[in-house]
Amino acid sequence: MNSHSPEFKSALHVMPGVEGGHDGLPRQKTTDDKNAARDILRRDLKTQDYVEGILSGDRTRLARAITLIESNSPSHFSQAQDVLKAILPKTGGSIRIGVTGVPGAGKSTFIEALGSYLTGQGKRVAVLAVDPSSTVTGGSILGDKTRMERLAADPSAFIRPSPSGGALGGVARKTRETLLIFEAAGFDVVLVETVGVGQSETTVRSMVDFFLLVLVSGAGDELQGIKKGVVELADAILINKADGANIVQAQAARLEYERALHYLQPATEGWRTMAMTASALTMAGIPQVWEKIQSFVETTNLSGAFKKRRQIQERDWVRAIVESHLLERFYADKRIQQLLPILDSAVMKGEMPAATAAQTLLGAIK
């Protein structure tokens, strides 16, 4: 991520408290979700209770552990880290799949389709969403819940919508840590949905093994609206909504993407990114997507690319946490807060070169 980008700066904005109670479980009988989430935390569980709950797959304590991770309070943070430390040896066993694509492409419907297919095969499936925009629109969480009704009611599945907490940096940490919790709880597959805008696809790519780009045909120029960079992150492209009158068009789009992919660098060493068609609505092509994912896991396990990617992801993750904390501290510094508007204005008026302003800021915290 470009640390000077506006997205990143806004990512420093810290939201207060725990929100939600988005645990995919029956709600407490209260009208106030915020209070419900706080109540859960107030009935203080011991670290050991969380750990045992997660490892035994107890849904209530699992949900509470995620709420603990999503909390922005420092004491919850340190307990959450203790929980994570304890479960770490039990993590790593899931296949982590990222699903991205333009809004409305059918990501949630696809996750519901693939998820139900997998639970039908006896697998346990967890679903997470990364949606930095959801705090702005507030709509996506509700939308996802209604679009994954079947999976939400499935005892072998667990859906956790995007943690609020605003900024991508915070959401990314919470999502990653929640993923580890799911793994320790024995879920076979973890699916992470993200909208294909801004930085969130790069963020999700950095936490999953397999990255799927969901597209739809029929928007005229097939490559429109999708940045080449996003295509280059994908291990497979799924042309969704290949049903009804759309089938022929979807197949044409698939060929067009296949051609384009020849000129692009594959996202994973030793794996050829390909385009497929499917219908999340009729389930046509969904088993084939799963076959493809299994073949990916097999191939990359054999070549060592699977393990190598996870190791690099862990290492980079440490760097990312350090960088985001340094930036957070920098912008929270009183001296910086005083200087920043003055220097901003000088730079904007053309009275000071940008590099001089930056140097002044950096010098102020020495």
Among 232, 253, 222, 234, residue whose Cα is nearest residue 293? 234
CA distance 345 to 17: 33
Minimum gap (Å) between residue 158 Cβ and Mg ion: 17
Cβ-in-10-Å burial (0-12, 13-18, 19+) of 21 comes to buried
Residue closest to Mg ion, measured at CB: 108
Among 98, 90, 41, 92, residue whose Cα is nearest residue 69? 41
End-to-end CA distance of the chain: 25
Q: Which residue has the tokens 């024995």?
A: 186
Residue among 116, 119, 135, 140 that touches ligand GTP (CB under 6 A): 140
DSSP category for residue 246: G
Minimum gap (Å) between residue 317 Cβ and ligand GTP: 25
Minimum gap (Å) between residue 164 Cβ and ligand GTP: 16
Question: Residue 84 corresponds to which tokens in the numbers above?
Answer: 């994570």
Residues in region 86-115 near Mg ion by CB under 5 A: 107-108
CA distance 228 to 249: 21
CB 271 within 8 A of CB 211: no
Binding of ligand GTP by 249 (CB under 6 A): no
Minimum gap (Å) between residue 142 Cβ and ligand GTP: 11
Which is closer to ligand GTP, CB of 180 or CB of 213? 213
Binding of ligand GTP by 147 (CB under 6 A): yes
Residues in region 189-208 near ligand GTP by CB under 6 A: 195
Which is closer to ligand GTP, CB of 106 or CB of 166? 106
What is the pattern of x (binds ligand GTP, CB under 6 A) and - over residues 256-295? -----------------------xxx--------------
With residue 211 as reference, give the H or E element that holds it.
strand 210-216
Look at residue 104 and give the partner it binds from Mg ion, ligand GTP, none, a contact being a CB closer than 5 to 8 Å depending on partner kind. Answer: ligand GTP
CB 123 within 8 A of CB 193: no
Residues in region 102-131 near ligand GTP by CB under 6 A: 103-109
Residue closest to ligand GTP, measured at CB: 106
CA distance 104 to 112: 14
Sites of contact with ligand GTP (CB under 6 A): 101, 103-109, 140, 143, 147, 195, 240-241, 243, 279-281
Sites of contact with Mg ion (CB under 5 A): 107-108
